[in-house]
Amino acid sequence: MTCFSPVGVVELLWDRGTILIEGDPPREALGFAVFDPRVKKYRCMAIHYSRLKRVLEEKGIPFEDRVMQPACSKVEAKVKPELRHYQREALEAWLRYRRGVIVMPTGAGKTFVAIAAIAELSTPAMVVVPTVELVEQWRRRLSRYFPGKVGAWYGEEKEENCLLVTTYDSAYLSVEALGPKYPFLVFDEVHHLPSESYRQIAELSPAPYRLGLTATPERSDNLHALLDELVGPVVYEMRVSEASGRYLAEFEVEVVKVRLGEEEEEEYRRLEKIYLEYIRRKNLKFKSPAEFRKLVMLSGRDPGARRALEAWVRMRSILFNSESKVNAVADILARHRGDKILIFTEYTSLARAVSERYLIPLITHDTSSEERRIVLEGFRTGVFRAIVTGKVLDEGIDVPDVNVVVILGGTSSRRQFIQRIGRALRLKPGKAKIYEVVTASTREVAASRRRRRDI
Amino acid sequence: MLPAELLRVSRRGNTVRPLYLEDVGPAEYVIDLYKPGLKLGEARERLREAPFDPKLARGLAHVLERSLKVEDVDKKLVTRIRVEVFRTASKQFPVVDPVDRSLVFESVASKFGIPPSEVERLFSKAFEDELEITDLPSMTPEELVAMYNTSLVQTLLFKCLELSVTFKAKGSEVKPAIRALKAYGLMYVAEDAGSRVRLVIDGPVSILKQTERYGTRLAKFIPHVFGFEDWSIEARVRLHGKTLTFREEKSTAPGLLPEPLREELFDSTVERDFYRQLSKLCRVEREPDVLVVGGRIYIPDFRVGDLYIEIAGFWSQEYLRRKFEKLAVLGFPILVLVDERLAVSAWKNLPHYVVAYRDRPRIGDVYRYIRAYCREGS
């Protein structure tokens, strides 16, 4: 390298999630750009693109920028979405920096704030969502405002367009190629982003504009602290309690207790003994998922830990799959003949059992895309009255008039609970009803209590 | 490759190794479970009784199921039947009584003109475990063991941060490996290691941040290495929150399956014709050696005795620029045959013999350069 950078122009190039700097960058950029001997050029993570440009501009260093190759030059909305006053407030708060997170309860219309932001910026945008159902929903909604300009990118379907809807999994894989095409990134359910791998979507994209949406930014592993750097700070916040009754339906929770079958009960108690004996002997306490991972790690070496862990897994599966839960569904269905019902289970096997017994459509990760489409469409239009699902719809489709949610099994996670009941909390007259079916005198009762606190 | 939760390893200090399967017993056992006529779910159910580590059993089954033949169902018909069942049931919602349930199947059956039992059978065929096994597994226990062990190594590499490979191999084997490596978006730095070559492989982001991002691609790449004459690998892998080292080499590894080498193909017809003509005169080796030039791998097209021969056809500017750079620093005698449509003047500055050709190189034009080496070689 020459010590004296000639008057020659600095050039910024895209390289699979990173920016290559042709020529010597100023010292101020060396905090985040490093010399890469493999290519004999400086390199930095794509997320630093805006910062790098700012440094060069401030120093008055001329540079040629070959990083962004936008998918389209301009993306204009045919119509702009009409916003409620709090949605407008949220939009304006975000527009101040064009970065940041908006916190709003499920059902308050986060999607429309994002659509309005895209319309405001008129620039190619990539929307990242957790599930295939949400890809479809976003595509449908975006197409109303930007007809013919919306593509989807996941699984087998890969169609680029000015606006692109993709899943976290697909975005993680394809950001190396898609990154420079979209100056605006929208993360739906942004609390997924900070995980070790998904984080890279934000790090390896050069997008200067970023918007995150969620009802619950907090993560039990505290990684939400990273959102500041990855997307921007929380710029607007509205919690469930503020929204309930004003913008969302009121809801009522009824806990239905069922008993395990005799054999199930016996097996459960036997396993519980194995589990508890080990936990007490080792004096372990599990206050968070991170601590529970200790047991998982111990099980790699300690046969006792392995037996305890196996027992725990089997206990869970007995609770979440118990025959009496399938039976309990009959009464609930009979009580709500005229309603629209969503049933959640922890395991696919229980969802299948419910579907087969009551001939209710089923959506799980292995439902074919054709069946999935017909079922969701039919549920929306009222052809089907109930759907049973595993975890795939935890975050997902908006079904405007679901008014009964049945939870047959779930973790003690508050977020999962909020999201599941959120399916029934769209603005509409009348109360929503939530059933939680739990097995009496088991660990499940406490888990149910934990997930409902502070709501 | 296996789902991550089926990885089996042994750890000692900071090193890690896959728990290879060394005896064919478990493989025989698993193959034996997959009997034609059984449903996949039934075979999987019987797998839980296996008298060895359940992770091993599921791993073997996973590998075996990849090539297993199961019944072919008309998925469109299955979806149509299911949707019709759900629709009919929804009209009399809720269906909680077993009698009402059979009535639903009967009504759908009459609509499709098939027996109710057939409706119920097809209704369940949306799920993989309901599918029937049609043929015996097409592999021997020994093959299953080798596939399983290869998958274990690959699965361990999912978590790889950086891979280094030291090898001895023919240029014609290394060339497809390097091509695959680039196609996966990986990067390498090459260095001479005595009679061997060492590659350190990672990706663009690796220099900025430790990442498992390239693990899957390194796992897909690694079978190329298993085909080399001799090899050793050293991988840094991230496991249970720790960075561990995984070392393996050909002499200690169990049988691992190499990437199948495709038939030797010439880069161009120009090369092929030249090779055929020259072979009549002397012994020509194709892509015999792997050279390291400025951190990059360079594989000359031919060798006659001690002389390398490179044919520079008509390729992209960028490709030629890199080739030019490699040749410029090469210390070996080399004859470069250049298509005259290229900028021949630049090539003439190379410290090598350079001969331009039109359409195709003619032996008559270049034989005087080759003759001296040819005698040695033939």
What tens digit of pLDDT does each residue of A252-296 get?
A: 788 888 888 888 888 888 988 888 888 888 777 766 666 677 777
Model ipTM?
Answer: 0.82
What is the CATH number that goes with domain A10-66?
Answer: 3.40.1170.30
Judged by CB atoms closer than 8 Å, whether chains meet at B87 and A378 is answered as: yes
CA distance B334 to B302: 10
Q: Is residue B378 predicted with pLDDT exceeding 50?
A: no
Helix (H, G, I), strand (E, B) or coil at B187: strand
Domain positions in chain A are 10-66, 85-238, 251-259+323-454, 262-320
pLDDT in tens, A72-118: 998 999 998 999 999 999 999 999 999 999 999 877 889 999 999 99
What is the sign, positive or negative, of the torsion defined by CA atoms of B238, B244, B250, B254?
Answer: negative
Q: What is the mean pLDDT of residues A352-360?
A: 93
Q: Which residue has the tokens 């790090």?
A: A203
DSSP at A8: P
Tokens of B125: 């065929």
Is the CA virtual torsion B345, B351, B357, B359 positive or negative? negative
**Predicted confidence (pLDDT) at residue A412 exceeds the cutoff of 60:** no
**Is the predicted pLDDT of residue A411 greater than 70, yes or no?**
no
pLDDT > 70 fraction of chain A, expressed in percent and rounded: 84
Q: Which residues of A touch B83 (CB under 8 A)?
A: 371, 374-375, 378
Question: How confident is the prediction for chain B on average, in pLDDT?
Answer: 89
Q: Which helix (H) or strand (E) holds A326?
A: helix A323-335
Least confident of A27-41, A296-310, A365-379, B312-326: B312-326
Token digits of residue A108: 């308050």
Q: Is there a cis peptide before residue A105, judged by omega within 30 degrees of 0?
A: no
Which chain B residues have a beta carbon less than 8 Å from that of A358? 89, 94-96, 101
Average of per-residue pLDDT across B189-214: 94
Which chain A residues contact residue B240 at CB under 8 A? Answer: 297, 300
Segment of A377-386, A429-438, B341-350 carrying the highest mean pLDDT: A377-386
> Mean pLDDT across the stretch B342-365?
76
Greater confidence, A298 or B160? B160
Return all residues near A449 (Cβ < 8 A) that are at least 6 apart. Answer: none
Q: What is the mean pLDDT of residues B138-159?
A: 96
Q: Place B179 in a pLDDT band, splitting at 50, 70 and 90.
A: very high
pLDDT of residue A443: 66
Q: Hey, are the CB atoms on A366 and B185 less than 8 Å from each other?
A: no
Listed in sequence order, the residues at least 6 apart from A195 whose beta carbon sits closer than 8 Å to its beta carbon are A223
The residue ranking higher by pLDDT, A225 or A419, is: A225
H helices within A219-321, ranges in order?
Answer: 227-230, 240-243, 262-281, 289-298, 303-321
Per-residue pLDDT of A9-18, as tens digits, reads 899 999 999 9
What is the reported pLDDT for A5?
Answer: 43
Sign of CA dihedral B215, B217, B223, B225: negative
Residue A247 has pLDDT above 60, yes or no: no
B174 or A317: whose pLDDT is higher? B174
* pLDDT attached to residue A287: 65
Which residues of chain B neighbour A317 with C-beta distances below 8 Å? none
Asked if domains A10-66 and A85-238 share a fold, the reply is no
A85-238: what CATH class? Answer: alpha beta
Which tens digit of pLDDT belongs to each residue from A122-180?
A: 999 999 999 888 898 899 999 999 999 999 999 878 999 999 999 999 999 999 999 99
CA-to-CA distance for B133 and B71, rounded, in angstroms? 6
Burial of A301 from C-beta contacts in 10 A (0-12 / 13-18 / 19+): exposed
What is the rounded distance in angstroms from the CA atom of residue B241 to the CA atom of residue A315? 27
For residues B244 and B15, give the distance between their C-alpha atoms in angstroms, rounded to a whole number.
5
| DSSP, res A49 | H
Query: Which residues from B are below 8 Å from A when comparing CB atoms?
Result: 11, 75-76, 79, 82-83, 85-90, 93-96, 101, 104, 124, 126-128, 185, 187, 189, 203-205, 207-209, 211-213, 240, 295
- The answer on pLDDT for B273 being more than 60 is yes
Q: Which helix (H) or strand (E) holds B274?
A: helix B269-279
pLDDT of residue A165: 97
- Identify which of B48, B342, B111 has the alpha carbon closest to the alpha carbon of residue A313: B48
**Does residue A384 have a pLDDT over 80?**
yes
Q: Is the pLDDT of residue A60 over 50?
A: yes
CATH value of A251-259+323-454 in 3.40.50.720, 3.20.20.70, 3.30.1330.10, 3.40.50.300: 3.40.50.300
Nearest CA in chain B to A38: B189
**Helix or strand (DSSP H, E) at A175:** helix A168-178
**Residue A380 pLDDT greater than 90, yes or no:** no
What are the φ/ψ torsions at residue A23 (nearest 5 degrees)? 100, 170
Beta-bridge mates of residue A405: A342, A434
**Of A45 and A134, which is predicted with more confidence?**
A45
